């Protein structure tokens, strides 16, 4: 649990520097939250990697009849039956931990934020 959500993060044992906003926290990668009006899936990779975002938007259009409701890293669904679970699984597998760490560090070095 992190930020009140079920979270998947890079542990300090693999990335000791932690999250730049709070180094005592592990580097976040994905999270799932049940909000008042939606079920939200957060994926830091779609925010940080424009190619991954483009892939996801195109794949979502093919996988779901519902219009994509998305923020920077937040993908919102009104009902559980609206979630294209197979696509979310593919998204989770598209970026390895090592790829996420490398992208995160490259963005930090260039001075770009990787937060929501």
Q: For residue range 32-91, list pLDDT tens digits in order.
A: 999 889 999 999 999 999 999 999 999 999 999 999 999 988 999 999 999 999 999 999
R_g of the chain computed on alpha carbons: 14
Distance, CA of 12 to CA of 80 (rounded, Å): 32
Given a cut of 60, is residue 113 above it in pLDDT?
A: no
Give the pLDDT band of residue 4 (cuts 50, 70, 90).
confident
19, two tokens: 């999250």
Domain interval for residue 65: 6-109
pTM for the complete prediction?
Answer: 0.86
Q: Is residue 116 part of a domain?
A: no
Q: Is residue 76 part of a domain?
A: yes
Q: Is residue 70 part of a domain?
A: yes
Q: Is residue 67 part of a domain?
A: yes
Distance, CA of 61 to CA of 48 (rounded, Å): 20
Q: What is the CATH number of the domain that holds 72?
A: 3.90.1150
Q: Is residue 114 part of a domain?
A: no
């Amino acid at each position: 649990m992190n930020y009140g959500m079920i979270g998947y993060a890079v542990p300090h044992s693999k990335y000791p520097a932690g999250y730049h906003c709070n180094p005592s926290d592990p580097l976040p990668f994905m999270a799932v939250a049940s909000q008042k009006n939606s079920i939200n899936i957060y994926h830091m990779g779609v925010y940080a990697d424009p190619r991954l975002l483009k892939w996801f938007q195109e794949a979502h259009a093919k996988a779901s009849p519902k219009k994509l409701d998305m923020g920077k890293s937040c993908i919102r669904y009104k009902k559980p039956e609206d979630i294209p679970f197979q696509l979310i699984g593919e998204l989770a597998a598209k970026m390895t931990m090592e790829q996420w760490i490398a992208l995160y560090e490259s963005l930090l070095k260039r001075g770009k934020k990787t937060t929501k």
